[in-house]
Structure 1
Amino acid sequence: MTSHHSARAALALLLASTAIPGFAQSAAPPAEATAETRAAMNELLAADEYILRIQALDDNGPRINAVIDYDPTAPVKARQLLGTGVLRGRTVLVKDNVETAEWPTTAGSLALKDNATGRDAPLIALMRANGGVVLGKTNLSEWANIRSDSSTSGWSAVGGLSRNPHAIDRNTCGSSSGSGAAVAAGFAWAAIGTETNGSITCPASINGIVGFKPSVGIVSRTHVVPISSTQDTAGPMARTVYDAALLLTAIAGEDKADPVTLQAKRVKDYTAGLDTASLDGVRIGVLRGAVGSRPDVSALFEDALADLTKAGAVLVDVEYSPPGELWQASLPVLLYELRAELDKYLAGRPGSDGPRSLADVVSFNIANEREELRWFGQELFLQALDTDDAEAYAKNLATLRRLSRAEGIDKLLKDNDVTFLIAPTAGPAWSTDLVNGDNFAGRIGAGYLAAIAGYPHLTVPMGAVERLPVGLSIMGGQWQDHAVLKAGAAYEKARSAKLPAPTFRPWRPAGE
């Protein structure tokens, strides 16, 4: 259900009228330009190609269906921003639960199809101030995948079903599904996703790109359709660790309306030192219990460990099994926060139309059952309406904080004298099935620990299983975002695995 408005001839005319002085549109950047300027110029050259790729591969052809809408004048705006900020005109797609002034912010739901607030979320305003261009909005799993526990990731009533560029009959995972698929398909320089638990890292892993979930508080959450006040964060999704770090630099900042951002410990430039980052002598904890039961993923992970060892890292096997209390407390906390935070967001929207509470959304879905509830229900929404015990919430939250932080990541790092924890991020993409829902098989990954703790989690491609990408997770302590990114950049340089290119066709076994 895309609604794109540009034509190739009109785009070419606009581009021709906005050439960069002294820089021919079809020429390579001048040799005397700095590396950063050359990179920015190359991105400007690519900006119009992104539009054409969206038209050819998202609207037509394999119909990746990752982009809900886009700005045909984005390449023009990019050229006007060459010397501005750290992004210098780079184009970014934005998940459609983050407000931008140009389009409605729907969270994938028909209940919010007219939610045109006319405002930018603070993280978007920062990105623009730093020279970024909003290229468009991406599809997502509806309501960021919190409506039902039998959902199909990548589907929303507004945007339909997103497809994985590596195998279009395979899933895109997480709720930032469109952002992951769009970057993998080459529809933008980078994208912004959001995560509560796995919704940046899983789609990044499964679509074969880099995804970074920052520490909660590094990036503002104001004017982002919420789930959890303790776990939600936006973060970058890109093709390289450097690009992810550059985008994070542009969107990180304080926001008085989001008090946790006032406590964050940021660095000015998250790209600093990435080019010289080393793992020599760095002790890294290997979460063997999170490798899962698939021999093919285990073999891929062992290859990554060999690369890390060759790069000088000291690998330490770390034993960890999540206690039952963690799972018992997790969902009640999310449901309590969902009801409170979504009610607050919906009640504060500009205008008078549309839902003003979670209860209104539930009623809308019942009234529009064929469009909204055909493939899966809203049982988690219904549970959230009944989750209002503040005393139980406080107790559960304290349990989560203790088990994920002091007795979780903090303890694992300290007791094993390691700087990071690693594991495979997720298994390869499963066949999409709207009737039966998602298939998270193999018990792979430990990203839930970083998500619940609110700590940084980076996923970097480490190869593929039968041409289906799999990522390597790197997690660290609170506010250690820069260190985690540097570790990811060092692994990226050491990686020996050949990464698969998107096929834009249904999956076939390797060799066929």
Structure 2
Amino acid sequence: MQRRNFIKTSSLAGLTLSTLVAASCSPPSAEKKEAGIKDGKDYPFELSEATITDLQQKMQAKQYTSRQLTELYLKRIEEIDKNGPKLNSVIELNKDALNMADSMDKERAQGKLRGPLHGIPVLIKDNINTGDNMHTTAGSLALADNFAKQDAFIVHKLRKAGAVLLGKTNLSEWANFRSTHSTSAWSSRGGQTKCPYILDRNPSGSSAGSGSAVAANLCVVAIGTETDGSIVSPSSVNGLVGIKPTVGLLSRSGIIPISKTQDTAGPMARTVKDAAIFLGVLAGADPQDSYTLPGTGKAAADYTKFLDANGLQGKRLGVEKSALEGNPITVALLKDAIKTMEAKGATIIEIELNPLIKDAGRNEFTVLLYEFKDGLNQYLSTANGKVKSLADVIAFNKQNEPKAMPYFKQETLELAQAKGDLASKEYLDALQQTNDGARKAIDKMLTDNKLDAIIGPTNGPAICIDLIAGDYDSGSFGFSGPAAMAGYPHITVPMGLMHGLPIGLSFFSTAWHEGDIIRLAYAYEQASKKRVAPNFKVDLLT
């Protein structure tokens, strides 16, 4: 969950960026130099920016085995994540990774190929169950003893597809649903994750570890999860492609929940093609998640069929009017993106979604408080850890405050605990305003203007890491709110850099239209080529 979004009631406010965004988080210091981190140091990697297709071709040509690829990524994690820049994006490695790779190599030698992910190393977020040697903790010390009894449904699909699980990524604790004063990308179990572009910047939450790891080439692709912004925001900030699918396209069973009406997992990758491949593997109906049943027959077996370089031809896109005002760099990037899309045959018209979405945004936080309490209590009641309820988590944090809450507290958890059940009138009224309100607003905008999708900057650039004051408002809006509240699909693609920090371009549409927005995003990506690999700068000024 991108905490700032619901604090700001998810409204599409202006895109004005404060001078804090462009400033260095802290001046150069001897302490940084003594730490052995050099500004812009080159960390060469033979698999840098490699795609799923690249790796499959290398294995097919017998240039590499899956084991060799896995060893290279594990070495890269050691060099970049644990040493060197110390991104701290991987919270736990999988002791079985090399065995998994060996198994996939054996199958390949026997002529058995499971699909595009056969032997491909991936990372997954640490709020997703794996029935193996790895913990599932949502970054919380309260769940430090939690070993899941079985895989989450999407992890089962990953194993079936032949993927190699490298490990789990750090996240904003409880997917950024613990405190309204939190620092994104920090968890009591995993510590603080850094942005690989400028190391004193925050890689954004809550799928911060997945975003930082994929950007830094610690894996090819990773899984993130989103309630509101937690896939698209860290993807945007880390120069990635992120897909937040329609709620119900991917199963949530076995994922530590916030909201049954907004939660979803989704792919984070360096290219639209890789994200599309990954989405096809993860999608599918699950009897344990009733929200996937309406999507039966609507998931594509292969989303790469939508990869059309001419996919913008004849399309009508609505750009949020307020996004064309504010910081001149952001506006220039957006206008350049519009010119690129127009040159590829798209028609861009200005729209104002903001007035239609305000009521939904005002009620979102109330919905999430109720659903978090209900969903977490259900998850914990059958988990292997010692804590069995939200009340237990709160009590644990109080008893272990120096370690569990050294920087910010747990007022969001306490607000959720104070709520009633899902039959409460307050919840039902807020739910109608949020989900129904957002859907009606988006659908009306699309229909009235004959639009194929709505576009705008995903969010502003990475803010400074500040464990004392917490996340601050850069003055930019997060464009995740409308699609998140409606449960609609949303994709972000790199749009350019502001002072060396990436900013993404968002495309979203109505339910089950993943293929349509993938087509648009791919066409823009191929025409613009804005992905730039990070160079691990210490700060903005050095």
TM-score, scaled to structure 2: 0.84
Shift of 1:40: 5.8
CA distance in 2, matches of 1:57, 1:235: 25
Residues 409-448 of structure 1: pairs in structure 2 closer than 5 A: 409-448=442-481
* Counterparts in 2 of 1:113 and 1:474: CA distance versus 1, 3 Å: same
- The 3-state SS of whatever aligns with 1:271 is helix
Find out whether 1:328 has 2:359 as its counterpart. Answer: no
Correspondent of 2:390 among 351, 358, 376? 358
Alignment match, 2:12 = none
Find out whether 1:271 has 2:304 as its counterpart. Answer: yes
CA distance in 2, matches of 1:216, 1:334: 15
CA distance in 2, matches of 1:176, 1:35: 25
Once the two structures are overlaid, the 10-residue window that deviates more, 35-44 or 478-487, is 35-44
Alignment match, 1:99 = 129
What amino acid is aligned across from residue 128 of structure 2 in structure 1? V
CA distance in 1, matches of 2:329, 2:507: 20
CA distance in 2, matches of 1:40, 1:120: 27
* Counterparts in 2 of 1:291 and 1:233: CA distance versus 1, 3 Å: farther
Shift of 1:377: 1.1
Alignment match, 1:50 = 73
Once the two structures are overlaid, the 10-residue window that deviates more, 285-294 or 35-44, is 35-44
Correspondent of 2:496 among 463, 477, 484? 463
Shift of 1:400: 1.2
CA distance in 1, matches of 2:482, 2:243: 15
- The 3-state SS of whatever aligns with 2:265 is strand
Correspondent of 1:61 among 84, 90, 108? 84
* Counterparts in 2 of 1:38 and 1:477: CA distance versus 1, 3 Å: same
Correspondent of 1:405 among 422, 433, 439? 439
Q: Residues 292 and 445 of structure 1 are in contact (CA less than 8 Å); yes or no, is this contact kept in structure 2?
A: no
- The 3-state SS of whatever aligns with 2:303 is coil
Residues 145-156 of structure 1: pairs in structure 2 closer than 5 A: 145-156=176-187
Alignment match, 1:38 = 57
Shift of 1:276: 4.6
- The 3-state SS of whatever aligns with 2:403 is helix
CA distance in 1, matches of 2:89, 2:378: 29
Residues 228-243 of structure 1: pairs in structure 2 closer than 5 A: 228-243=259-274
Q: CA RMSD in A?
A: 2.0
Shift of 1:86: 3.0
Correspondent of 1:306 among 335, 339, 352? 339
CA distance in 1, matches of 2:519, 2:93: 32
Kindly provide the CA deviation profile for residues 58-109 of structure 1, in whole angstroms up to 9, marking residues without a partner as x: 1111100000122365355335435222312111100000011231101000
Alignment match, 1:170 = 201
What amino acid is aligned across from residue 403 of structure 2 in structure 1? E
Alignment match, 2:164 = 133
Shift of 1:440: 3.2
Identity fraction in percent = 43
- The 3-state SS of whatever aligns with 2:306 is coil
CA distance in 2, matches of 1:382, 1:291: 39
Q: Residues 290 and 445 of structure 1 are in contact (CA less than 8 Å); yes or no, is this contact kept in structure 2?
A: no
CA distance in 2, matches of 1:444, 1:416: 23
Correspondent of 1:248 among 265, 272, 279? 279
Kindly provide the CA deviation profile for residues 202-261 of structure 1, in whole angstroms up to 9, marking residues without a partner as x: 000001111110000010000100000000000000110110111111111111110010
Find out whether 1:387 has 2:410 as its counterpart. Answer: no
CA distance in 1, matches of 2:206, 2:529: 30
Q: Residues 292 and 444 of structure 1 are in contact (CA less than 8 Å); yes or no, is this contact kept in structure 2?
A: no
Q: Residues 120 and 162 of structure 2 are in contact (CA less than 8 Å); yes or no, is this contact kept in structure 1?
A: yes
* Counterparts in 2 of 1:118 and 1:344: CA distance versus 1, 3 Å: closer
What amino acid is aligned across from residue 490 of structure 1 in structure 2? A
* Counterparts in 2 of 1:40 and 1:415: CA distance versus 1, 3 Å: farther
CA distance in 2, matches of 1:46, 1:486: 30
What amino acid is aligned across from residue 109 of structure 1 in structure 2? S
Shift of 1:192: 0.3
Kindly provide the CA deviation profile for residues 17-44 of structure 1, in whole angstroms up to 9, marking residues without a partner as x: xxxxxxxxx99xxxxxx98941665784
What amino acid is aligned across from residue 192 of structure 2 in structure 1? L
Shift of 1:439: 2.1
Alignment match, 2:383 = 349
Q: Residues 216 and 233 of structure 1 are in contact (CA less than 8 Å); yes or no, is this contact kept in structure 2?
A: yes
- The 3-state SS of whatever aligns with 1:471 is strand
Q: Residues 426 and 444 of structure 1 are in contact (CA less than 8 Å); yes or no, is this contact kept in structure 2?
A: yes
CA distance in 1, matches of 2:539, 2:81: 18
- The 3-state SS of whatever aligns with 2:305 is coil
Q: How many residues align?
A: 475
What amino acid is aligned across from residue 100 of structure 2 in structure 1? K
- The 3-state SS of whatever aligns with 2:510 is coil
Alignment match, 2:151 = 120
Shift of 1:327: 2.8
CA distance in 1, matches of 2:163, 2:431: 37
What amino acid is aligned across from residue 400 of structure 1 in structure 2? T
- Extract unaligned runs of 5+ from structure 2: 1-45, 48-52
Kindly provide the CA deviation profile for residues 357-384 of structure 1, in whole angstroms up to 9, marking residues without a partner as x: 1011000110011111111111111111
CA distance in 2, matches of 1:444, 1:221: 27
Q: Residues 69 and 121 of structure 2 are in contact (CA less than 8 Å); yes or no, is this contact kept in structure 1?
A: no
What amino acid is aligned across from residue 448 of structure 1 in structure 2? G
Alignment match, 2:100 = 77
Find out whether 1:282 has 2:312 as its counterpart. Answer: no
CA distance in 2, matches of 1:206, 1:225: 24
Kindly provide the CA deviation profile for residues 245-291 of structure 1, in whole angstroms up to 9, marking residues without a partner as x: 11111111111110010111211111113145521111111112245
Q: Residues 293 and 444 of structure 1 are in contact (CA less than 8 Å); yes or no, is this contact kept in structure 2?
A: no
What amino acid is aligned across from residue 348 of structure 1 in structure 2? T
- The 3-state SS of whatever aligns with 2:73 is helix
CA distance in 1, matches of 2:364, 2:439: 14
TM-score, scaled to structure 1: 0.89
Relative contact order higher in (CA < 8 Å, ≥ 6 apart): 2
CA distance in 2, matches of 1:413, 1:321: 14
What amino acid is aligned across from residue 468 of structure 1 in structure 2? L
Alignment match, 2:116 = 86
CA distance in 2, matches of 1:308, 1:70: 41
CA distance in 1, matches of 2:333, 2:247: 30
Alignment match, 1:22 = none
- The 3-state SS of whatever aligns with 2:518 is helix
